């Protein structure tokens, strides 16, 4: 399980999730994408809004799954929520791969508030009574999927570090951090890094304190695959001079940074939602952008294989 996270929005998080997932599926793997963002941008990358309203909104989104959860009851299965977006799967049908999706809902923010309330409201006043019930919900739900159903699961997280993002982190083996090479994104990465460390420390401390009550709960040890720079402006084949200090500054944070970067191309990425086909599979993609995206996916897979040979 890999969560795609960033404290900021507008950094290409959904774009990376869609394109990485689609290309790996096109290479013959079974991929599941889970949209945890109330903006539902990943969902609308594969379904038109009217199709979402007619077919998914009422009973086939991650919001309904969260709402179906009941204390002291079996974990609701995730499988009934899984959809197979038709356009992208028709493009990869010649191989043995498949791309599935669990859609989001525009009211998912209400779920976030309900989960925060179960924790006890403001962070400084939270008790640990329902701590694991809240933060391990996604992990428990993912276990309900058929064994070996997917080679890769990508969780597209909200642009914050709220309860749902933390639950995604708790369900994940690895984290991927998209970012723009600018001052605000660099500050956001540093803040995200601090929040991650705090959450992991807090979670593992409670595991120690409640080991007798929750012996099956394991400590969190998610690995950061790396920071991927997106929306990069190039000159003579390199990021423009104004961006290079921010790339260097990110490396100084001690986080791994992908060599592959993705150039700014609003025309291609904005148009992808209209066709329900990620840019990496489009016939209209420019050679330079296609090369960068493929290079990114190859580096992504290499980093995973290095961690899990």
CA distance 166 to 198: 11
- CATH number, position 253: 3.40.50.300
In this predicted structure, what is the pLDDT of residue 122?
46
83: CB partners within 8 A, 6+ apart: 47, 56, 60, 100, 101, 102, 103
User: Cα dihedral sign for 199, 110, 55, 47?
Assistant: negative
**Residue 307: per-residue pLDDT:** 59
Q: How far apart are CA 258 and CA 93, in angstroms?
A: 30
> Model's pTM, two decimal places?
0.92
| pLDDT value of position 71 | 67
Q: Which helix (H) or strand (E) holds 234?
A: strand 234-235
pLDDT, position 287 = 84
131/142 Cα distance (integer angstroms): 18
Q: Residue 10: what pLDDT?
A: 73
pLDDT in tens, the chain (309 residues): 999 998 777 777 898 999 999 999 999 999 999 999 999 999 999 999 999 999 999 999 999 999 888 766 788 999 999 999 999 999 887 778 899 999 999 999 898 888 888 887 545 445 576 888 889 999 999 999 998 899 999 999 998 899 999 999 999 999 999 988 887 777 788 888 999 999 999 999 999 888 887 778 899 999 999 999 887 877 777 778 878 888 888 888 888 999 998 877 655 555 555 677 888 888 877 888 888 889 999 999 999 876 554
Counting every residue, how long is the chain?
A: 309
Q: Which of 73, 82, 193 lies closest to 146, judged by CA?
A: 82
**Residue-level pLDDT at 300:** 95
Structural domain of residue 212, as residue ranges?
2-307
What backbone torsions phi and psi does residue 61 show, to the nearest 5 degrees? -135, 165
Structural domain count of the chain: 1
């Amino acid at each position: 399980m890999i969560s795609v996270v960033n404290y900021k929005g507008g950094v290409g998080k959904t774009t990376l999730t869609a394109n990485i997932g689609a290309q790996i599926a096109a290479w013959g793997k079974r991929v599941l994408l889970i949209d945890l963002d109330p903006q539902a941008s990943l969902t609308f990358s594969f379904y038109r809004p009217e199709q979402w309203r007619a077919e998914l909104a009422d009973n086939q989104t991650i919001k309904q799954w969260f709402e179906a959860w009941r204390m002291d009851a079996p974990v609701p299965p995730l499988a009934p929520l899984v959809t197979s977006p038709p356009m992208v799967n028709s493009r990869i049908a010649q191989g043995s791969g498949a791309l599935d999706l669990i859609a989001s809902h525009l009211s998912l923010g209400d779920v976030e508030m309900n989960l925060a309330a179960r924790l006890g409201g403001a962070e400084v006043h939270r008790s640990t009574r329902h701590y694991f019930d809240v933060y391990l919900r996604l992990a428990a739900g993912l276990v309900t999927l058929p064994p070996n159903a997917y080679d890769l699961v990508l969780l597209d997280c909200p642009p914050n570090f709220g309860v749902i993002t933390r639950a995604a982190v708790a369900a994940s083996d690895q984290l991927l951090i998209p970012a723009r090479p600018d001052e605000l994104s660099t500050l956001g990465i540093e803040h995200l890094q601090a929040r991650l460390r705090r959450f992991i420390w807090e979670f593992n401390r409670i595991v120690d304190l409640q080991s007798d009550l929750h012996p099956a709960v394991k400590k969190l040890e998610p690995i950061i695959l790396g920071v991927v720079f997106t929306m990069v402006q190039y000159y003579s084949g390199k990021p423009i001079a104004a961006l290079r200090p921010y790339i260097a500054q990110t490396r100084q944070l001690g986080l791994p940074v992908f060599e592959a970067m993705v150039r700014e191309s609003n025309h291609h990425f904005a148009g992808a939602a209209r066709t329900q086909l990620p840019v990496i599979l489009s016939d209209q993609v420019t050679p330079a952008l296609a090369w960068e995206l493929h290079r990114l996916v190859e580096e992504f897979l290499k980093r995973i294989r290095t961690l899990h040979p």
